[in-house]
Amino acid sequence: KVWNFYAGPCMLPDEVMEEAQRSFRNFEDTGMGVVEISHRSAEFADIASKAESLLRELLHIPTNYRVLFEQGGGRGQFAAIPLNLLPENGQADYFVTGHWSNCAAKECAEKYGKAIIHECTYLNSDGQYDVDFSKMTVTPGSTYAYICINETVNGIETLENLPDTGNVPLIADMSSNIMTRPIDVSKFGAIIFGLQKNVGPSGMTITIVREDLIGHARKYCPSVLDWAVLDKYGSMFNTPCTFAWYMAYLNFKWIKSLGGVEELERRNIEKSKMLYNYIDDSDFYVSKISPNVRSRVNCVFTLKDETLNNEFIAQSKALGLVGLKGHKVLGGMRASIYNAMPIEGVKALVDFLKDFEQRYI
Ligand code: PLP
Protein backbone atom coordinates (compact mmCIF):
# COMPACT_ATOMS: atom_id res chain seq x y z
CA LYS A 1 0.00 0.00 0.00
CA VAL A 2 1.32 3.42 -0.94
CA TRP A 3 0.39 6.35 1.29
CA ASN A 4 0.40 9.47 -0.86
CA PHE A 5 1.37 12.64 1.04
CA TYR A 6 1.77 14.86 -2.03
CA ALA A 7 0.26 18.33 -1.75
CA GLY A 8 -1.66 18.05 -5.01
CA PRO A 9 -2.60 16.41 -7.20
CA CYS A 10 -2.84 13.89 -4.44
CA MET A 11 -4.67 10.80 -3.33
CA LEU A 12 -8.41 10.52 -3.78
CA PRO A 13 -10.74 8.20 -1.84
CA ASP A 14 -10.68 4.55 -2.97
CA GLU A 15 -14.47 4.55 -3.38
CA VAL A 16 -14.27 7.55 -5.74
CA MET A 17 -11.43 6.06 -7.78
CA GLU A 18 -13.21 2.72 -8.10
CA GLU A 19 -16.49 4.23 -9.27
CA ALA A 20 -14.59 6.44 -11.73
CA GLN A 21 -12.76 3.38 -13.01
CA ARG A 22 -16.05 1.60 -13.70
CA SER A 23 -17.50 4.66 -15.45
CA PHE A 24 -14.38 5.29 -17.48
CA ARG A 25 -15.33 2.71 -20.10
CA ASN A 26 -19.08 2.46 -19.60
CA PHE A 27 -20.92 5.22 -17.80
CA GLU A 28 -24.20 3.97 -16.33
CA ASP A 29 -24.69 1.45 -19.14
CA THR A 30 -24.71 4.10 -21.83
CA GLY A 31 -22.01 2.16 -23.69
CA MET A 32 -19.89 5.33 -23.54
CA GLY A 33 -17.04 6.14 -21.22
CA VAL A 34 -17.68 9.11 -18.94
CA VAL A 35 -14.99 11.13 -20.77
CA GLU A 36 -16.72 10.43 -24.09
CA ILE A 37 -20.04 11.96 -23.11
CA SER A 38 -20.86 15.35 -24.60
CA HIS A 39 -21.19 18.19 -22.18
CA ARG A 40 -24.41 19.02 -24.04
CA SER A 41 -25.98 15.60 -23.38
CA ALA A 42 -28.73 14.88 -20.87
CA GLU A 43 -26.36 12.48 -19.10
CA PHE A 44 -23.79 15.18 -18.48
CA ALA A 45 -26.40 17.80 -17.56
CA ASP A 46 -27.48 15.40 -14.84
CA ILE A 47 -23.91 14.98 -13.51
CA ALA A 48 -23.36 18.75 -13.55
CA SER A 49 -26.53 19.59 -11.72
CA LYS A 50 -26.08 16.84 -9.11
CA ALA A 51 -22.52 18.04 -8.45
CA GLU A 52 -23.72 21.56 -7.83
CA SER A 53 -26.65 20.53 -5.62
CA LEU A 54 -24.43 18.30 -3.50
CA LEU A 55 -21.86 21.05 -3.08
CA ARG A 56 -24.59 23.49 -2.09
CA GLU A 57 -25.97 21.02 0.42
CA LEU A 58 -22.59 20.09 1.92
CA LEU A 59 -21.41 23.68 2.36
CA HIS A 60 -24.87 25.10 3.08
CA ILE A 61 -24.36 27.66 0.32
CA PRO A 62 -26.97 30.43 0.56
CA THR A 63 -29.25 30.89 -2.43
CA ASN A 64 -27.79 34.32 -3.28
CA TYR A 65 -24.46 32.69 -4.20
CA ARG A 66 -23.64 31.26 -7.64
CA VAL A 67 -21.40 28.27 -8.20
CA LEU A 68 -19.13 28.38 -11.26
CA PHE A 69 -17.11 25.46 -12.65
CA GLU A 70 -14.08 26.84 -14.46
CA GLN A 71 -10.69 26.19 -16.02
CA GLY A 72 -7.41 28.00 -15.49
CA GLY A 73 -6.63 26.75 -11.99
CA GLY A 74 -6.09 28.76 -8.84
CA ARG A 75 -3.75 31.06 -10.68
CA GLY A 76 -6.43 31.72 -13.30
CA GLN A 77 -8.63 32.99 -10.48
CA PHE A 78 -5.76 35.15 -9.13
CA ALA A 79 -6.30 37.11 -12.37
CA ALA A 80 -10.07 36.62 -12.53
CA ILE A 81 -10.60 38.20 -9.09
CA PRO A 82 -9.22 41.68 -9.97
CA LEU A 83 -10.54 41.41 -13.52
CA ASN A 84 -14.06 40.81 -12.20
CA LEU A 85 -14.02 43.04 -9.15
CA LEU A 86 -11.43 45.78 -9.32
CA PRO A 87 -12.24 48.98 -11.21
CA GLU A 88 -9.50 50.47 -13.39
CA ASN A 89 -7.12 52.31 -10.97
CA GLY A 90 -8.80 50.57 -8.05
CA GLN A 91 -7.18 49.10 -4.97
CA ALA A 92 -7.60 45.95 -2.91
CA ASP A 93 -6.15 44.68 0.37
CA TYR A 94 -4.18 41.45 0.30
CA PHE A 95 -3.58 39.70 3.64
CA VAL A 96 -0.37 37.80 2.99
CA THR A 97 0.27 34.72 5.09
CA GLY A 98 2.44 32.71 2.72
CA HIS A 99 3.38 31.79 -0.82
CA TRP A 100 -0.06 31.62 -2.43
CA SER A 101 -1.51 34.84 -1.06
CA ASN A 102 1.74 36.50 -2.11
CA CYS A 103 1.36 35.12 -5.66
CA ALA A 104 -2.23 36.37 -5.80
CA ALA A 105 -1.15 39.85 -4.62
CA LYS A 106 1.62 39.97 -7.22
CA GLU A 107 -0.73 38.96 -10.00
CA CYS A 108 -3.02 41.84 -9.09
CA ALA A 109 -0.25 44.41 -8.50
CA GLU A 110 1.75 43.67 -11.60
CA LYS A 111 -1.18 43.68 -14.00
CA TYR A 112 -4.49 45.02 -12.77
CA GLY A 113 -4.26 47.61 -10.04
CA LYS A 114 -3.01 48.50 -6.62
CA ALA A 115 -2.64 45.57 -4.24
CA ILE A 116 -2.09 46.84 -0.71
CA ILE A 117 -0.01 44.12 0.87
CA HIS A 118 -0.43 43.42 4.59
CA GLU A 119 2.34 41.05 5.59
CA CYS A 120 0.66 39.18 8.41
CA THR A 121 3.18 36.50 9.40
CA TYR A 122 5.92 37.03 11.95
CA LEU A 123 8.30 35.03 14.09
CA ASN A 124 6.89 34.83 17.63
CA SER A 125 8.83 34.70 20.90
CA ASP A 126 8.95 30.87 20.68
CA GLY A 127 10.69 31.17 17.33
CA GLN A 128 7.61 29.92 15.47
CA TYR A 129 5.80 31.47 12.54
CA ASP A 130 2.57 33.04 13.66
CA VAL A 131 -0.09 35.30 12.18
CA ASP A 132 -0.79 38.81 13.40
CA PHE A 133 -4.52 39.07 12.76
CA SER A 134 -4.54 42.73 13.81
CA LYS A 135 -2.80 43.49 10.50
CA MET A 136 -5.80 42.26 8.55
CA THR A 137 -7.45 45.64 8.20
CA VAL A 138 -9.28 47.17 5.29
CA THR A 139 -7.91 50.38 3.79
CA PRO A 140 -10.53 53.04 2.99
CA GLY A 141 -11.26 52.93 -0.73
CA SER A 142 -10.50 49.24 -1.20
CA THR A 143 -12.89 47.23 -3.33
CA TYR A 144 -12.19 43.86 -1.72
CA ALA A 145 -9.92 42.13 0.75
CA TYR A 146 -8.16 38.91 -0.12
CA ILE A 147 -7.02 36.01 2.05
CA CYS A 148 -5.70 32.49 1.50
CA ILE A 149 -7.32 30.46 4.26
CA ASN A 150 -4.89 27.57 4.04
CA GLU A 151 -1.38 28.23 2.82
CA THR A 152 -0.40 24.90 1.30
CA VAL A 153 3.34 25.62 1.19
CA ASN A 154 4.10 26.79 4.73
CA GLY A 155 1.16 25.03 6.42
CA ILE A 156 -0.65 28.04 7.90
CA GLU A 157 -4.44 27.90 8.28
CA THR A 158 -6.43 30.91 9.41
CA LEU A 159 -10.12 30.01 9.28
CA GLU A 160 -10.62 30.33 13.02
CA ASN A 161 -9.74 34.03 13.08
CA LEU A 162 -11.37 35.47 10.00
CA PRO A 163 -10.95 39.25 9.73
CA ASP A 164 -14.05 41.40 9.89
CA THR A 165 -13.99 43.38 6.68
CA GLY A 166 -17.39 45.03 7.16
CA ASN A 167 -19.06 45.80 3.86
CA VAL A 168 -15.92 45.14 1.88
CA PRO A 169 -16.19 41.61 0.45
CA LEU A 170 -13.65 39.10 1.68
CA ILE A 171 -12.38 36.94 -1.17
CA ALA A 172 -10.84 33.65 -0.09
CA ASP A 173 -8.62 31.04 -1.66
CA MET A 174 -9.56 27.70 -0.08
CA SER A 175 -7.80 25.52 -2.62
CA SER A 176 -6.30 23.23 -0.03
CA ASN A 177 -8.83 23.12 2.80
CA ILE A 178 -12.22 23.31 1.11
CA MET A 179 -14.49 20.43 2.22
CA THR A 180 -12.15 19.60 5.11
CA ARG A 181 -14.27 21.47 7.67
CA PRO A 182 -17.53 23.43 7.77
CA ILE A 183 -17.43 27.04 6.61
CA ASP A 184 -19.87 29.91 6.79
CA VAL A 185 -20.09 30.88 3.13
CA SER A 186 -22.06 34.03 3.96
CA LYS A 187 -18.91 35.55 5.49
CA PHE A 188 -17.27 35.68 2.05
CA GLY A 189 -17.83 37.61 -1.13
CA ALA A 190 -16.27 34.79 -3.11
CA ILE A 191 -14.44 31.55 -2.45
CA ILE A 192 -12.18 29.98 -5.03
CA PHE A 193 -10.60 26.55 -5.04
CA GLY A 194 -8.91 24.15 -7.41
CA LEU A 195 -10.16 20.57 -7.31
CA GLN A 196 -6.79 18.89 -7.03
CA LYS A 197 -6.48 18.47 -3.28
CA ASN A 198 -9.73 17.55 -1.63
CA VAL A 199 -12.18 17.29 -4.50
CA GLY A 200 -10.82 15.65 -7.65
CA PRO A 201 -8.22 15.77 -10.40
CA SER A 202 -6.53 18.97 -11.50
CA GLY A 203 -7.96 21.01 -14.35
CA MET A 204 -11.02 22.52 -12.77
CA THR A 205 -11.55 25.40 -10.37
CA ILE A 206 -14.77 26.24 -8.57
CA THR A 207 -15.81 29.77 -7.63
CA ILE A 208 -18.63 30.33 -5.18
CA VAL A 209 -19.57 33.97 -5.56
CA ARG A 210 -22.23 36.28 -4.16
CA GLU A 211 -24.63 37.34 -6.90
CA ASP A 212 -24.09 41.07 -6.54
CA LEU A 213 -20.37 40.66 -7.25
CA ILE A 214 -21.09 39.29 -10.70
CA GLY A 215 -21.37 41.59 -13.71
CA HIS A 216 -18.60 44.11 -12.96
CA ALA A 217 -15.81 42.62 -15.09
CA ARG A 218 -13.51 44.82 -17.11
CA LYS A 219 -14.30 44.99 -20.82
CA TYR A 220 -11.13 43.15 -21.74
CA CYS A 221 -11.56 40.39 -19.16
CA PRO A 222 -11.28 37.15 -21.17
CA SER A 223 -14.78 35.70 -21.51
CA VAL A 224 -13.64 32.40 -20.00
CA LEU A 225 -12.66 34.23 -16.80
CA ASP A 226 -15.70 36.50 -16.70
CA TRP A 227 -17.95 35.27 -13.89
CA ALA A 228 -21.03 36.78 -15.58
CA VAL A 229 -20.36 34.83 -18.77
CA LEU A 230 -19.76 31.59 -16.89
CA ASP A 231 -22.90 32.14 -14.86
CA LYS A 232 -25.01 32.96 -17.89
CA TYR A 233 -23.93 29.79 -19.69
CA GLY A 234 -24.15 27.45 -16.68
CA SER A 235 -20.33 27.13 -16.71
CA MET A 236 -20.54 25.77 -20.27
CA PHE A 237 -19.57 28.82 -22.30
CA ASN A 238 -16.73 26.67 -23.57
CA THR A 239 -16.27 22.93 -23.18
CA PRO A 240 -15.75 22.33 -19.48
CA CYS A 241 -13.45 19.75 -17.89
CA THR A 242 -16.12 17.11 -17.95
CA PHE A 243 -14.04 14.42 -16.29
CA ALA A 244 -12.94 16.65 -13.40
CA TRP A 245 -16.54 17.79 -12.97
CA TYR A 246 -17.70 14.17 -12.82
CA MET A 247 -15.00 13.32 -10.27
CA ALA A 248 -16.10 16.27 -8.13
CA TYR A 249 -19.62 14.84 -8.22
CA LEU A 250 -18.36 11.43 -7.04
CA ASN A 251 -16.34 13.11 -4.31
CA PHE A 252 -19.28 15.13 -3.05
CA LYS A 253 -21.39 11.95 -3.01
CA TRP A 254 -18.66 10.24 -0.98
CA ILE A 255 -18.52 13.13 1.50
CA LYS A 256 -22.29 13.03 1.94
CA SER A 257 -22.21 9.27 2.55
CA LEU A 258 -19.69 9.77 5.37
CA GLY A 259 -21.81 12.36 7.14
CA GLY A 260 -20.69 15.57 5.44
CA VAL A 261 -17.84 17.99 6.04
CA GLU A 262 -18.65 17.90 9.76
CA GLU A 263 -17.51 14.26 9.91
CA LEU A 264 -14.46 15.04 7.78
CA GLU A 265 -13.54 17.80 10.18
CA ARG A 266 -13.67 15.32 13.08
CA ARG A 267 -11.36 12.98 11.19
CA ASN A 268 -9.02 15.76 10.14
CA ILE A 269 -8.66 16.99 13.71
CA GLU A 270 -7.84 13.47 14.86
CA LYS A 271 -5.27 12.91 12.10
CA SER A 272 -3.53 16.25 12.47
CA LYS A 273 -3.37 15.97 16.28
CA MET A 274 -1.75 12.59 16.02
CA LEU A 275 0.96 13.94 13.73
CA TYR A 276 1.65 17.28 15.43
CA ASN A 277 1.61 15.70 18.90
CA TYR A 278 4.32 13.30 17.85
CA ILE A 279 6.41 16.07 16.29
CA ASP A 280 6.00 18.34 19.33
CA ASP A 281 7.01 15.58 21.74
CA SER A 282 10.12 14.70 19.79
CA ASP A 283 13.53 16.33 19.99
CA PHE A 284 14.36 15.15 16.51
CA TYR A 285 11.62 16.83 14.43
CA VAL A 286 10.43 20.44 14.65
CA SER A 287 7.30 22.28 13.56
CA LYS A 288 8.12 25.95 13.02
CA ILE A 289 4.46 26.93 12.83
CA SER A 290 2.66 28.23 15.91
CA PRO A 291 -0.04 25.81 17.15
CA ASN A 292 -2.59 28.69 16.77
CA VAL A 293 -2.35 28.65 13.01
CA ARG A 294 -1.22 25.16 12.07
CA SER A 295 -2.87 23.70 9.04
CA ARG A 296 -4.85 20.54 9.67
CA VAL A 297 -4.07 19.30 6.20
CA ASN A 298 -0.53 20.46 5.32
CA CYS A 299 1.77 19.53 8.16
CA VAL A 300 5.14 21.19 7.56
CA PHE A 301 8.09 20.06 9.65
CA THR A 302 11.86 19.80 9.55
CA LEU A 303 14.45 17.40 10.84
CA LYS A 304 16.69 19.09 13.38
CA ASP A 305 19.63 17.62 11.53
CA GLU A 306 18.87 18.61 7.94
CA THR A 307 21.81 16.62 6.60
CA LEU A 308 19.51 13.58 7.07
CA ASN A 309 16.86 14.93 4.67
CA ASN A 310 17.82 12.79 1.68
CA GLU A 311 18.06 9.66 3.81
CA PHE A 312 14.65 10.43 5.32
CA ILE A 313 13.03 10.86 1.92
CA ALA A 314 14.64 7.74 0.44
CA GLN A 315 13.72 5.51 3.36
CA SER A 316 10.16 6.76 3.68
CA LYS A 317 9.63 6.25 -0.05
CA ALA A 318 10.99 2.71 0.14
CA LEU A 319 8.27 2.01 2.72
CA GLY A 320 5.53 3.41 0.48
CA LEU A 321 5.27 6.81 2.17
CA VAL A 322 5.54 9.12 -0.83
CA GLY A 323 5.51 12.88 -1.38
CA LEU A 324 6.98 14.00 1.95
CA LYS A 325 9.51 16.44 0.53
CA GLY A 326 8.64 20.07 1.31
CA HIS A 327 7.77 22.61 -1.38
CA LYS A 328 10.77 23.86 -3.35
CA VAL A 329 10.45 27.42 -1.98
CA LEU A 330 10.59 26.26 1.65
CA GLY A 331 12.49 22.96 1.87
CA GLY A 332 12.08 20.61 4.85
CA MET A 333 9.21 18.13 4.90
CA ARG A 334 5.51 18.37 4.36
CA ALA A 335 2.86 15.73 4.94
CA SER A 336 -0.37 16.61 3.19
CA ILE A 337 -3.13 14.70 4.91
CA TYR A 338 -6.23 15.69 3.01
CA ASN A 339 -9.69 14.15 3.26
CA ALA A 340 -8.76 10.98 1.40
CA MET A 341 -5.89 10.12 3.77
CA PRO A 342 -7.20 7.66 6.33
CA ILE A 343 -5.94 7.60 9.91
CA GLU A 344 -4.02 4.40 9.04
CA GLY A 345 -1.85 6.43 6.66
CA VAL A 346 -1.02 8.93 9.40
CA LYS A 347 -0.27 6.06 11.81
CA ALA A 348 2.09 4.56 9.24
CA LEU A 349 3.84 7.93 8.95
CA VAL A 350 4.14 8.37 12.72
CA ASP A 351 5.55 4.81 13.01
CA PHE A 352 8.15 5.70 10.42
CA LEU A 353 9.00 9.00 12.15
CA LYS A 354 9.57 7.08 15.41
CA ASP A 355 11.63 4.38 13.80
CA PHE A 356 13.81 6.83 11.87
CA GLU A 357 14.33 8.92 14.98
CA GLN A 358 15.41 5.90 17.02
CA ARG A 359 17.95 4.88 14.42
CA TYR A 360 19.49 8.32 13.83
CA ILE A 361 19.23 10.21 17.10
N1 PLP B 1 -3.80 28.42 -4.06
C2 PLP B 1 -3.38 27.43 -3.24
C3 PLP B 1 -3.71 27.50 -1.78
C4 PLP B 1 -2.65 26.36 -3.76
O5 PLP B 1 -2.21 25.39 -2.95
C6 PLP B 1 -2.35 26.33 -5.15
C7 PLP B 1 -1.59 25.23 -5.75
O8 PLP B 1 -1.17 24.30 -5.13
C9 PLP B 1 -2.79 27.39 -5.94
C10 PLP B 1 -3.52 28.41 -5.37
C11 PLP B 1 -2.49 27.45 -7.40
O12 PLP B 1 -3.33 26.55 -8.06
P13 PLP B 1 -3.10 26.16 -9.59
O14 PLP B 1 -1.82 25.39 -9.64
O15 PLP B 1 -4.31 25.34 -9.90
O16 PLP B 1 -3.03 27.41 -10.38
Among 175, 179, 180, 338, name the best residue to mutate to test ligand 1's pocket (greatest count of ligand atoms within 8 A of Cβ). 175
Q: How far is the CA of 194 from the centre of ligand 1 (A)?
A: 7
Q: Decide the pairing of beta strands 91-96 and 142-148.
A: parallel
pLDDT at residue 330, as a whole number = 85
Task: Let me know: does 247 contact 201? Beta carbons within 8 Å.
Answer: yes
Alpha carbons within 13 A on the beta-carbon side of 102: 11
pLDDT tens-digit series, residues 258-301: 999 999 999 999 999 999 999 999 999 999 999 999 999 999 99
pLDDT at residue 242, as a whole number = 98
Q: How far is the CA of 157 from the centre of ligand 1 (A)?
A: 15
Q: How confident is the model at residue 31 (pLDDT cuts 50, 70, 90)?
A: very high
Domains of the chain are 3-11+259-360 (3.90.1150.10), 27-258 (3.40.640.10)
| Percent of all residues in the chain with a pLDDT value above 90, rounded to a whole number | 98
212 is annotated as an active-site residue = no
Q: How far apart are CA 350 and CA 282, in angstroms?
A: 11
3-state helix, strand, coil in the chain (%, to 5): 45, 20, 40
Q: How far apart are CA 227 and CA 81, in angstroms?
A: 9
Q: How far is the CA of 202 from the centre of ligand 1 (A)?
A: 10
pTM of this structure: 0.97
In this structure, which amino acid lies at residue 160?
A: E
Strands (E), 76-154: 91-96, 114-119, 121-123, 129-131, 142-148, 150-151
Q: How far apart are CA 357 and CA 361, in angstroms?
A: 5
173 is annotated as an active-site residue = yes
Q: What residues flank ligand 1, with Cβ below 6 Å? A: 8, 73-75, 100, 148, 152, 173, 175-176, 194
pLDDT tens-digit series, residues 225-254: 999 999 999 999 999 999 999 999 999 999
pLDDT tens-digit series, residues 126-142: 999 999 999 999 999 99
∠ CA 293-341-338, rounded to 5°: 35
pLDDT tens-digit series, residues 40-94: 999 999 999 999 999 999 999 999 999 999 999 999 999 999 999 999 999 999 9
